[in-house]
């Protein structure tokens, strides 16, 4: 499960703290870092591993053990230069997934070009939602409708390819309801339960959040 992954969050503004807090509350190991000592002290009560450091320094990143971290979230959108340098250093050190917060479309293009695997706009992607998506291994996207109900977009599992929804009986086996099927940019809500699923299809399902672990 994804909570066995390790995460680092660089930049502890509202967005960065929201991501780190949600990850920590779900049992994930998180290294939270900011260059401002006052900000670090304020967040230390909520985040067990909270450090004051300059993440644009490669020696600091090595001391933090960033090469062993699975996912780094660079939440320093107000400082493009620092974001670019940090992303570059993290990729050079072998971090598999780097997610960066950006301030505008131009910054998004720059951050993607220097190696960010995913770039998010804070107004479109809340820190809590990003954390939930990171923790939901195997899901393309996840949105909470209520505290205990979520809508999830997920890829068709290899063993489901070629079978239809009647054969799979996902409602009985996994306690989820398929409400739509995505194929590329097309989303179909008028589903034919007899139509075989392809490997390129995405299922959009609704379920009680505590039942989603069955799908991972």
- Indicate which CATH number applies to the domain containing 15: 3.40.50.720
Select from 120, 135, 150 the last residue of a domain: 135
pLDDT at 84 over 70: yes
In the predicted model, what is the mean pLDDT of residues 187-213?
83
pLDDT at 68 over 70: yes
* Phi, psi dihedral angles at 198 (to 5 degrees): -100, 165
- Does 102 lie in the same domain as 8? yes
User: Who contacts 203 (Cβ-Cβ below 8 Å, separation ≥6)?
Assistant: 153, 154, 155, 156, 178, 180, 181, 182, 197
- Does 84 lie in the same domain as 34? yes
pLDDT at 136 over 60: no
- Does 93 lie in the same domain as 198? no
Between CA 8 and CA 29 the distance in angstroms is 8
For residue 17, the enclosing domain spans 2-135
Select from 135, 160, 184 the last residue of a domain: 135
Q: Sheet harboring 139-146: ordered strands across?
A: 139-146, 149-155, 201-208, 176-183, 186-188
- Does 196 lie in the same domain as 110? no
- How many independent structural domains does the chain possess? 2
CATH code, domain with 181: 3.30.70.1450
- Does 79 lie in the same domain as 7? yes
- Does 202 lie in the same domain as 111? no
Helix axes 14-25, 127-135, angle to 10 degrees: 30
- Does 128 lie in the same domain as 90? yes
Token reading at 18: 């929201």
In the predicted model, what is the mean pLDDT of residues 7-24?
91
- Does 123 lie in the same domain as 91? yes
Q: Which residue has the higher pLDDT, 38 or 128?
A: 38
- Does 108 lie in the same domain as 28? yes
User: Who contacts 14 (Cβ-Cβ below 8 Å, separation ≥6)?
Assistant: 127
Q: What is the pTM of this model?
A: 0.61
In the predicted model, what is the mean pLDDT of residues 30-58?
95
* pLDDT of amino acid 48: 93
Give percent of the chain above pLDDT 90. Answer: 44
- Does 174 lie in the same domain as 100? no
Select from 91, 119, 135 the last residue of a domain: 135
Nearest to 197 by CA among 166, 167, 169, 156: 156
- Does 153 lie in the same domain as 190? yes
- Does 124 lie in the same domain as 46? yes
């Amino acid at each position: 499960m994804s909570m066995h992954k390790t995460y680092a969050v660089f930049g502890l503004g509202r967005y960065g703290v929201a991501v780190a807090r949600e990850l920590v509350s779900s049992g994930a190991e998180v290294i939270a870092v900011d260059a401002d000592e006052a900000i670090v002290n304020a967040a230390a009560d909520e985040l067990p591993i909270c450090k004051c450091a300059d993440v644009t320094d490669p020696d600091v990143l090595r001391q933090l053990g960033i090469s062993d971290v699975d996912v780094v979230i660079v939440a320093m959108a107000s400082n493009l230069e620092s974001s670019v340098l940090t992303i570059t250093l993290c990729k050079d050190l072998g971090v598999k997934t780097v997610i960066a917060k950006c301030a505008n479309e131009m910054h998004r293009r720059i951050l993607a070009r220097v190696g960010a695997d995913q770039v998010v706009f804070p107004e479109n992607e809340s820190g809590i939602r990003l954390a939930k998506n990171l923790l939901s291994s195997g899901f393309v996207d996840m949105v909470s409708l209520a505290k205990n109900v979520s809508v999830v977009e997920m890829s068709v599992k290899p063993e489901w390819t070629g079978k239809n929804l009647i054969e799979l009986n996902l409602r009985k086996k996994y306690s989820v309801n398929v409400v739509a099927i995505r194929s590329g940019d097309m989303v179909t809500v008028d589903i034919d339960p007899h139509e075989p699923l392809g490997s390129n299809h995405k299922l959009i399902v609704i379920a009680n959040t505590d039942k989603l672990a069955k799908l991972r």
